[in-house]
Amino acid sequence: MSASQDELLFLPLGGAGEIGMNLNLYGLGGKWLMVDLGITFPDQGQPGADLILPDPTFIAERRDDLLGLVLTHAHEDHLGAVPYLWRRLGCPVWATPFTASVLTRKLDEHGLLDEVPLHVVDLGSRISIGPFDIEFISLTHSIPEPNALAIRTQAGTVVHTGDWKIDPEPLVGDGFDHAALDKLGDDGVLALVCDSTNALNEGHSGSEAEVRDSLMKLCADRPGRIAVTTFASNVARIATIAAVARGHGRHLVLVGRSLWRILAAAREAGYADEIGEVMEADEGAFLPPDKVLYLCTGCQGETRGAMSRIAADDHPHVVLGTGDVAVFSSKVIPGNEQAIGRLQNRLTSRGVEVIGERDAFVHVSGHPYREELTAMYRWVRPQMAVPVHGEHRHMAEHAKLAGALQVPHTPVIENGQILRLSPGTPEVVGEVQSGRWLVDGTLIVDVDDDAVRMRRKLMFSGGAVVTVVADRGGQLAAEPTLVAQGVTAGAEQSSLELMVLQAIREAVAALPKKARQDDGRMAEAARLAARRTIRSVTGKKPVIEAQVIRV
């Protein structure tokens, strides 16, 4: 891909057409700047996978022209891929103090702490990276230090918002610097590359302070244990739960490693003063029920989350039962409905009262509703709006709103499409490789890797192994065997096995003598016979392997 020296390009390799896995590139004069490098999480279509990463092949092949990576904030979908992909990129990284503290712990876990050149940037700072002059502008979100980036170039200024909302009382961290955005609007902004998550929602997202008031009332006068689960990265919510515990004479007990990691980063960056002292789960086990408030990981039904272990009565120190309450102070992320439902059902079956976002005011979103998006456009007044961080319907609605606010150009693009921002009218001028990689144990593989596809097929249809024992002349020397798993069960399994073995005997017998002396041809005949029979009986297409043993 080639571009003229004065073309300013925008290329998302993740996060456009989806929520999560953000990877954004800005190109000018043959050089590239990366903004964010995040992950998303697998669903049932990726069995066994731990994480999903954006495919960085395009920029990894141009790593000599990659000037650096700038992180907008510390959420996993914006920095979680750094430890997995950095060696392919080899570039310096810039982040504000809290984000750098979170990333440092991740790099240390992956043995990269001494390799990655990490530059800590003060809030509100301005830095230069090649032809890109970058100003960090403080916004509000559900984590400390969310930053918009004002990226000034000779071809124009781009405001890249990252994740944000307008919170008049964020409780933790700096407030929303709308004055800086308004000044950028006065100076002239070419493009606003902006969060689309809640573009379908009318009104305002709400404030953390309002959640604190609601939770304080909700947790009053309860005689049993209280367990709250939320997103571990929401330091303001942790501070709120700490305030609720103090307000009702309870001790705050953290349950889950990720909460302790975030608390350590918050203390290091100076955001944990209000949280005060907290207890470990083993200490909390000795407290009376009306003197403990547990803050747990696992609000999305994660099987390894603390709340799932508690619900399964599998936690070594925390027990919930009749008279206790579990508060899900979080939203249900699309795709997690079933997992959360199973978790909540397990809790209620143990006599626990479950309260979620549909039952009480226990959560506010960290992303802007339409009223907030409107305010952003009135401050920035860009020549074009480029929606990102949303599914296509969110981005399309975002573009529609921007057009109604008199923004002249509202291109909607997808991962891999190269958008020319300047000069001239915005236009898609090319498309490059994009996609998803899976973290599969210690390996990183393509989402369509043979092993992943085979695992997926096994999960839905089961598998079988056929063994044929024959002599050198091609005659069966013993009965064929069939080992099937996940295909059928009980009496049907025995009946199916008899039918499959008969079909294999007939298929082998029908082969010419020369073919029966060929291991490959005999194995394939047995495999096809087994597949046809199983499909005709069960309607399934399991994974079938066949082997020939010569005696």
Which pTM was predicted?
A: 0.86
| One fold for 8-203+365-440 and 450-550 | no
Beta strands in 299-346 (DSSP E): 325-328
Domain 8-203+365-440 class? alpha beta
Q: d(Cα 544, Cα 334) in Å, to the nearest integer?
A: 35
Q: d(Cα 234, Cα 137) in Å, to the nearest integer?
A: 20
Domain ranges of the chain: 8-203+365-440, 208-355, 450-550
pLDDT score of 34:
98
Preceding amide of 223 cis, omega within 30:
no
Q: Which amino acid is at 276?
A: G
pLDDT score of 38:
97
CATH topology assigned to domain 208-355 = Rossmann fold (3.40.50)
pLDDT score of 44:
63
Whether 379 and 178 have beta carbons less than 8 Å apart is answered as: yes
Alpha helix (H) ranges present in 442-518? 450-461, 490-509, 513-516
pLDDT score of 43:
67
Angle of helix 257-269 relative to helix 235-247, nearest 10 degrees?
100
Residue 386 Rama label (left phi>0; alpha psi -120 to 50; beta): beta
pLDDT score of 457:
65
Q: Is 174 exposed, middle or buried (0-12, 13-18, 19+ CB in 10 A)?
A: middle
Instruction: Please report, in tens digits, the pLDDT of each residue of the chain (551 residues total).
Output: 555 678 999 999 999 999 999 999 999 999 999 999 999 887 666 666 778 999 999 999 999 999 999 999 999 999 999 999 999 999 999 999 999 999 999 999 999 999 999 999 999 999 999 999 999 999 999 999 999 999 999 999 999 999 999 999 999 988 999 999 999 999 999 999 999 999 999 999 999 999 999 999 999 999 999 999 999 999 999 999 999 999 999 999 999 999 999 999 999 999 999 999 999 999 999 999 999 999 999 999 988 899 999 999 999 999 999 999 999 999 988 778 999 999 999 999 999 999 999 999 999 999 999 999 999 999 999 999 999 999 999 999 999 999 999 999 999 999 999 999 999 999 999 999 999 998 877 788 777 766 666 666 666 778 889 999 999 888 999 989 988 887 876 657 778 888 888 999 999 889 998 888 899 999 999 999 988 998 888 888 888 899 999 98
Q: Is 68 exposed, middle or buried (0-12, 13-18, 19+ CB in 10 A)?
A: buried
Q: Which amino acid is at 488?
A: T
pLDDT score of 450:
67
Q: Is 146 exposed, middle or buried (0-12, 13-18, 19+ CB in 10 A)?
A: buried
Could you write out the DSSP letters of every residue in 140-209? B-SSS--EEEEEEETTEEEEE--S-B--S--SSS----HHHHHHHHHH-EEEEEEE-TTTT--S----HH
Asked: is 450-550 a CATH 3.90.79.10 domain? The reply is no
pLDDT score of 497:
83
Q: d(Cα 272, Cα 276) in Å, to the nearest integer?
A: 7
pLDDT digits (tens, 9 = 90+) for 110-137: 999 999 999 999 999 999 999 999 999 9
Q: d(Cα 22, Cα 81) in Å, to the nearest integer?
A: 9
pLDDT score of 362:
97
